[in-house]
Amino acid sequence: MTMTTIQFAGGAPAAPVASPLIRRVDGMEIPSAGIWPLVRASHVAIAPACDARPLETAVHSGHLVVTPNVDDATVSLALGQDGAVRFTGQPLMVAPTSYGTVEWAIEGLVRCEQESAAMTLTLGYHGVYRRAGRAWAWFTGSGRISPECEDSREVVVDLLFEAPLNLSGGLW
């Protein structure tokens, strides 16, 4: 868990204060509840065919909605020109890994115009990072888009979600 120590002038540091940006659930660190907007500088690549290498796709918008019950969280992405490709999914599982991160298995639907397909993502949560008065939750991973009657396509992601405004004014 990230801790913040406050140093007062002429005195000893105060006791560590838990960051309002993270919380612990069943021994796992996860971002605090709120709506975390997707940073457009995030990276998403989607394979155009089952045997093709993933190609970078424009990131238009999105968000991570973290709820008090982590199983009810939602990941939404709008990709491609004008955000025409939209993905919305929820965790099937959120569990710690043996190497210290937390893995989120996400399942949902990707839609483009009148078509939709199942999509799965396995995201590794790397923590909340801060710099110059801003903070981001960082997730990386990969998954598959599985259109009906077609072979699945690979998806690779590197996602940054900016801290919600209601949390950004805290002691972190």
Q: What is the DSSP string of 18-48?
A: E-TTEEEETTEEEEPSEEEEBPTT-EEEE-S
**DSSP code, position 16:** P
Report CA torsion sign: 112, 116, 140, 104: positive
The amino acid that residue 101 corresponds to is T
The token pair that represents 155 in the structure block: 């998806």
Q: Where are the domains of the chain?
A: 19-163
10-66 residue pLDDT tens: 454 444 445 788 888 888 899 999 999 999 999 999 999 888 999 999 999 999 999
Contact 119, 146 (CB under 8 A): yes
Mapped onto helix, strand or coil, the DSSP state of residue 161 is strand
Q: For position 154, what pLDDT does the model report?
A: 94
pTM for this predicted structure: 0.83
Higher pLDDT, 21 or 172: 21
**Nearest-angstrom CA–CA distance, 9 and 68:** 37
pLDDT for 167: 61
Domain 19-163 falls in which CATH fold? Lipocalin (2.40.128)
**Which tokens go with 4?**
């913040």
Provide, rounded to the nearest whole percent, the portion of the chain with pLDDT above 70: 85
